[in-house]
Structure 1
Amino acid sequence: MTSPPFRYVHSSNFPELLETLGISLFISTYQAGKLMVVRSQQKRLVTLLRNFEQMMGLALQPHRLAIGTRHQIYFFRNAPEIAPHVEPGTEYDACFLPRSSHITGNIRVHELAWANDELWIVNTRFSCLCTLSPDSSFVPRWKPPFISTLNAEDRCHLNGLAVVNDRPKYVTAFSETDTPRGWYDTKATHGCIMEVPSGTVVARGFSMPHSPRVYNDRLWLLDSGNGTLEIVQPETGDRTVVAQLPGFTRGLAFYGRYAFVGVSQIREKRIFGGLPIEEKFDRLQCGVWAIDIQTGDRVSFLQFQSGCTELFDIQVLSQFDRPQIIGFQKDKINNIFVFDPEFIDS
């Protein structure tokens, strides 16, 4: 079955915003199995697509990228020195090359984040945070205190991770439950955000929350089932709605005074039906909105019209605004080599 082509529209100022900020957006969608890079070139939006099975979390820094997929984590390194030589010539200033992968099995990877040089992974199926080891599928490092045992049962739908000062600091979950898929019946009302490592619940009462982030000394998250971007006070649990968006909010990144928020349609009603966002809008959208975090205004958007109905993660790449990603196409990867000349015998 042929997938429908990607088609999108955007506000007239979306390319200009990316170009003015000097950034590009990395966007994942597990439903379409794509990694999308969105950037601006001479005030015109340019998109790059790469295929991966069930794309989920992204961990992006200027020199490296990790991608979570159905059965494995892929690792890429940026080789900017070869970017000008990648066809069609001098168009690129960064080039992310695949270097390795780690097979985890289907642990239902959700968000990823770098903590120093270590990649931390939200292992949703085993209700824990984990890291990687060459000798194992994963290394469990932390679980919520209400989770009694590590079984492949998705007991609370742990999903989001915020790293602060190079340490895991906050996670989101759909419910504080300790039974197989126990979150299912209370997903619309019992979501929470927890502090790591204590496991203290900072706030409750969210609808399928995602994407906790700490930015400008504030704790942010997406109350996905309500379609909102919110600030949470960790000391009191008080919540402030910054922006209402026309879809299931998931995927959040910041740059300057802007938040880039992913919104999705609700395609799968068995799990995602019955959420408050369905009562707020006649038709939900799939795309990315730029929010001015000082005013809460929706200032710009990119909306997908076909080929994509659900987004998962959004990351911002700065320092390089014209990136290329080399996938696994034979005509590309077979003829690109990076090596350290210091190891060549004289």
Structure 2
Amino acid sequence: MDHQQQPAGESESSTGAPGRRPAAMREINYRHSSQFVPLLEHLGCSLLVSTYAAGKVVSIGANDGRLHLGFSNFQQAMGIAPPHQTVQPGGVTTSSIAVGGPNVIWFLRDGAALAQQVDPAGAYDRAFLARESFVTGNIHVHEMQWGDDGQLWIVNTLFSCLSTLHAEFNFVPRWQPPFISELAPQDRCHLNGMAMQYGKPRYVSALGESDAARGWRENKSDGGVLIDVPSGQTIARGFCMPHSPRLHGGRLFLLDSGRGKLVTIDQQSGRAEDVASYPGYGRGLAFYDRYAFVGMSRARETSVFGGVPICEDRTAMRCGVVVIDWMTGQSLAFVEFESGVEELFDVQVIAGSRRTVLCGPYPREDEQRPVWVVPLADQVDAIVDVGEGVCVQRNRIC
């Protein structure tokens, strides 16, 4: 096992306001298994992991036989929409990711051509730069995925619905489970996860089938369900606080979070079969070929987790990412946060990138040099003096 320590600037009461300097340093200790770095290097990929209590998106990469972690501040970071290509005006193709927070969704544009110039120069091969934010209000954003039309689909947990965005509104409700009778900010069923198929939502997970405000809490030990979106039918029941449904390799997967299990579900019969167990409360699931990357959390000491099987032995619970061969059920490698991070929400794979950097909305808190992207000189009448920092022009640091 390798043990490492990483200071990550953040105040315990930080609001993430721009320009505010963190009042304290959060020390994050982590360790990883001997196979974690070789596996990432073999796959040629990196990870993005969100943690809402610590208010970070963590980039995890490996090169030259070493594990590298970067921490970017995003207040109460939840769902991460993975890279999605869009065509901009003029026919320019770009790739973007999105990060959900308590009141806003951040959009980060791919700056791959600039990655190696981000400080420290030459360290990164992929960069995502914060470009826009959209104010949703506190709708309890959970998972997010891009649709085939470029729209961002959002699991709107507070209003028990799937939503998209529109400039005139905080959100546009697009779908609700049939047992939800009205659009109300009451977290009735704790809708939380979404699996896409052919660019459209296909399955969603919820912690219960309640139509009462926070009614899902009454039967959380085995009231979890998986719902087919097109038909509205519940195809599988009996899960303990399920999360992160995914379609991969012709199979339907789900995290039976409260039992610490990765399961696969027959789409016709709804029958669930265990694939693997892991020592944590599962949230966040991403795939690369035959490898499943599962996010694990330590459960908080709250009434929400009372009676949940995985919490019976809290001392055995771990926070981190475990890599599972879903074809054999074997756990192959892991990275674990020993202190400073207690829970994770989402996990995404960045294919083709060994080390990804996020240039987020708060570079000072991230202890990064600011980066600006500006038009070419012949595109504007004058270039404004931007002062000290880093100005990116013609895909160069200047």
* Both structures adopt the same fold (TM-score exceeding 0.5): yes
- Are 1:110 and 2:142 counterparts? yes
Residue 141 of structure 1 and its aligned partner are, at CA, apart by: 0.3
1:28-58 CA-partner distances (Å, limit 9, x unpaired): 0111111000000211100000111111000
Who is 1:76 aligned against? 108
How far did 1:319 drift? 2.0
Q: Which residue of structure 1 lines up, in the alignment, with residue 38 of structure 2?
A: 16
Match of 2:69 in 1: 47
Whole-Å separation in 2 of the counterparts to 1:342 and 1:235: 60
Q: How does 1:228-243 map to 2 (within 5 A)?
A: 228-243=261-276
Does the alignment pair 1:197 with 2:265?
A: no
In 1, Cα distance between equivalents of 2:277 and 2:145: 26
* 2:369 equivalent to 1:337: no
- Equivalent-residue separation in structure 2 for 1:39 and 1:127 (angstroms): 35
1:255 is the counterpart of 2:288: yes
Mean CA deviation greater in 197-206 or 150-159: 197-206
1:190-241: CA deviations, max 9, x gaps? 1000011221111000000000000001000000000000000110011110
What amino acid sits opposite 2:319 in the alignment? C
The answer to whether the Cα contact below 8 Å between 2:305 and 2:311 also exists between their aligned partners in 1 is no
Structure 2 match to 1:173: 206
Contact 1:156–1:177 under 8 Å retained in 2: yes
Question: How many aligned residue pairs are there?
Answer: 345
Larger radius of gyration: 2
Q: Structure 2: where are the runs of 5+ without partners?
A: 1-11, 13-23, 85-94, 382-398
5+ residue gaps, structure 1, are none
Measure, in 2, the Cα distance between the counterparts of 1:227 and 1:237: 19
Matching of residues 291-310 of structure 1 within 5 Å: 291-310=324-343
Q: Taking structure 1 as reference, are residues 322 and 4 closer, same or farther at Cα in structure 2, changes over 3 Å only?
A: closer
1:101-127: CA deviations, max 9, x gaps? 000111000000011211000000000
User: In structure 2, what residue type is equivalent to 1:42?
Assistant: D
Other-structure match for 1:61: 83
Residue 246 of structure 1 contacts residue 281 of structure 1 at CA under 8 Å; is this kept in 2? no
Query: What is the distance in 1 between the residues matched to 2:282 and 2:221?
Result: 14
- Does the 8 Å contact 1:212/1:219 carry over to 2? yes
Q: What's the counterpart of residue 127 of structure 1?
A: 160
1:272 is aligned, of 305, 322, 346, to 305
Q: CA deviation at 1:64?
A: 1.2
Query: How far apart are the structure 1 equivalents of 2:220 and 2:377?
Result: 55
What residue identity is the alignment partner of 2:47?
L
Distance 1:168 1:333 in 2: 39
Q: Deviations over 1:298-342 (max 9, x none)?
A: 110111100011110000001222221112225857542144789
Change (3 A) 1:194 1:22: same
> Match for residue 143 of structure 1?
176
Code of the residue aligned with 2:363 in structure 1: it is Q
SS at match of 1:6: strand
Alpha carbons 2:224, 2:239 under 8 Å: kept: yes
Q: Match of 2:372, SS?
A: coil
**Distance apart, 1:163 and its partner CA:** 0.7
Distance 1:298 1:282 in 2: 20
Q: Aligned pair in 2 of structure 1 residues 236, 115: CA closer, same or farther (>3 Å)?
A: same
1:279, distance to aligned residue in structure 2 (A): 3.5
Letter in 2 for 1:80: A
Is the CA contact (8 Å cut-off) linking 2:119 and 2:368 kept in structure 1? no
What letter corresponds to residue 45 of structure 1 in structure 2?
Answer: L
Q: Secondary structure at the match of 1:146?
A: coil
SS in 2 for 1:19: helix
CA RMSD of aligned residues (A): 1.7
Identity of aligned residues (%): 46
Return the TM-score normalized by structure 2. 0.83
Provide the secondary structure at the position in 1 that maps to 2:113. helix
